[in-house]
Amino acid sequence: MKILAINGSHRKGNTEAILKKILDGAAGNGARIELINLYDKNVEACKACMGCENTGTCKIQDEFPQIFEKMVHADVLVLGSPNYFNNVSGLMKNFIDRMNAHWQDTRLESKKVVLVMPGGQGKESREKGMSAFEQFPKICKMKVVERLSPQVDLPKEAKNDEKLMAKCLELGKKIVLS
Ligand SMILES: Cc1cc2nc3c(=O)[nH]c(=O)nc-3n(C[C@H](O)[C@H](O)[C@H](O)COP(=O)(O)O)c2cc1C
């Protein structure tokens, strides 16, 4: 089983710590794992040229196509973004917009997705952020199997929260078995 995590945080912080721990759990149960940090990748913004509507492909030459191929071949996607204004981060939104050529790709249908969205504010904001994040897998007909939106704010908060890290490890183990 191949588990691919994509991190849309702009810093080495909570989202990354949570994704790494989920992947540790999955690897412990025999999965092949990979973490892609979007802050390390050259993924340009969609230019809205709409060329993909005629050709089925995007003319921008950057690292997006390689990431998309990995998505297609993963059994489970773990998508992570910090909550920014009850929504995804700019990096994650930029990435999602580049899916314009691919959101109807039938290879994505029913693919399992775990959504991770830490936020510093209360439950209402974190729930609103998560429901915004959910739109992307839903539009692609992927299947959201788990959601995690813990309240953490300072960059090392998640990593130092033993209870949260234990929960993430268990979540990683569970997604391999389910
Ligand atoms: C621009 C910006 C907007 C934010 N907006 C929200 C918000 O609406 N709701 C919330 O719960 N947290 C909000 N936060 C806090 C982050 O979601 C929180 O610090 C999160 O843990 C960051 O994850 P990271 O360390 O992976 O980047 C915001 C942070 C920034 C920088």
Tally of domains in the chain: 1
Return d(Cα 72, Cα 53) in angstroms, integer: 20
The identity of residue 60, as a single letter, is: I
Q: What is the CA radius of gyration of the chain?
A: 16
Query: Distance from the CA of 119 to the center of ligand 1, in angstroms?
Result: 5
pLDDT at 178: 82
Containing structural domain, residue 10: 2-177
* Ligand 1 nearest-atom number relative to CA 10: 27
What is the mean pLDDT, run by run of 10 residues, along the chain of 178 residues?
98 98 98 98 97 94 98 98 98 98 97 98 98 98 98 98 98 95
Assess whether the C-beta atom of 13 lies below 6 angstroms from ligand 1. Answer: yes
Indicate which CATH number applies to the domain containing 101: 3.40.50.360
pLDDT at 164: 98
Give pTM, 2 decimals. 0.98
